[in-house]
Structure 1
Amino acid sequence: MKFRRRQSEEPEINLIPFIDVLLVVLIFLMLSTTYSKFTELQVTLPTADAQAMKDRPAEIIVAISADGRYAIDSQPVEGRSVDLLAAALQAATQGKQEPVLIISADAATPHQAVVNVMDAARRANLPRLTFAANKPRE
């Protein structure tokens, strides 16, 4: 018996149908995808039509720098502990009737620095506090 060697043919892969299918899938994905911006929380802020205050209450302004340093009514506070802040706030309230504490913090201020001021205000019996902010540019 004589066995002949078969000639092996190289399989040929035709890429044109493969590319056609990929283009159809790409077009389908482009048309079916929605490009909308998703946010985690949808918040609708309230509006207020307030009249201007006739009597301005006494104010104590606490400025907090980006690196966490404090100044109370433009006077720097030595140290960063809550006890020192409470003592400085207590001294700043002398002679003022129900003052409002205004926290004016830099945008890059650590969160802990703001919490320290709020804790010091609680210790100094200053229940009225607010935050200073700029209006956004339009």
Structure 2
Amino acid sequence: MKKFDEINIIPFIDIMLVLLAIVLITASFISQGKIQVSVPKASSTVAFKSDDLAKLLTVTENGELYFNDKPIAKEALAQEISQWPKDQKVTLKVDAKAPFQEFVSITDLMAKNDIKNVAIVTLKDKGE
């Protein structure tokens, strides 16, 4: 019989790397939200960790509002925002073709409640 002095960890490392890749790919899909929105382009962007931002507000092309990927009326959203602490982090994702009034309405609601920590989701413009 052959005596095993060492454990071969190469297959274990291979499996762990595959699992890591799966987790990273899955996490990137989860963080983007379920509502499909074509966000506007900007010349400069700042990267942030989406898990640090607890609240997600989405406005679709038709002006529909979503709070954490669930439909919500403006009145209900105003009531929800009024209960948030002043330092609440918010991600605002507005479709590029949505009426500008929707964007102004949401930012006005947050300004009334002194919520200033708002990240607006955009795509980086490739430039010319």
What TM-score, normalized by structure 1, do the two folds share?
0.48
In the alignment, which of 105, 109, 126 is matched to residue 116 of structure 1? 105
Q: Offset of 1:114 from its aligned partner? A: 0.2
For residues 85-119 of structure 1, what are the alpha-carbon distances to aligned partners after superposition, in whole Å with 9 as ceiling and x for unaligned?
3212235x3xx782222110011010000000001
Amino acid at match of 1:127: K
Secondary structure class of the residue paired with 2:124:
coil
How large is the RMSD of aligned CA atoms in angstroms?
Answer: 3.2
Q: Offset of 1:46 from its aligned partner? A: 7.1
Q: Quickly say closer, same or farther: Cα 1:124–1:137, change in 2 above 3 A.
A: same
Unaligned runs of at least 5 residues, structure 2: 1-42
Q: Bigger relative contact order, structure 1 or 2, given CA contacts below 8 A and separation 6+? A: 2
Check the 8 A contact 1:100/1:128 in 2, yes or no. Answer: yes
Q: Offset of 1:73 from its aligned partner? A: 1.0
Cα distance in structure 2, aligned partners of 1:110 and 1:137: 24
Cα distance in structure 1, aligned partners of 2:86 and 2:53: 7
**Higher helix proportion:** 2
Check the 8 A contact 2:45/2:123 in 1, yes or no. Answer: no
Amino acid at match of 2:97: A
Amino acid at match of 2:77: L
For residues 57-106 of structure 1, what are the alpha-carbon distances to aligned partners after superposition, in whole Å with 9 as ceiling and x for unaligned?
4431110011111011112112x4xx443212235x3xx78222211001
1:26 matched to which residue of 2?
none
Q: Quickly say closer, same or farther: Cα 1:97–1:115, change in 2 above 3 A.
A: closer
2:58 matched to which residue of 1?
63
Greater Rg by CA: 1
Check the 8 A contact 1:72/1:88 in 2, yes or no. Answer: no
Check the 8 A contact 1:58/1:98 in 2, yes or no. Answer: no
Q: Quickly say closer, same or farther: Cα 1:136–1:70, change in 2 above 3 A.
A: same
Amino acid at match of 1:106: D
Cα distance in structure 1, aligned partners of 2:45 and 2:103: 26
1:74 matched to which residue of 2?
69
Q: How many residues align?
A: 84
What TM-score, normalized by structure 2, do the two folds share?
0.51
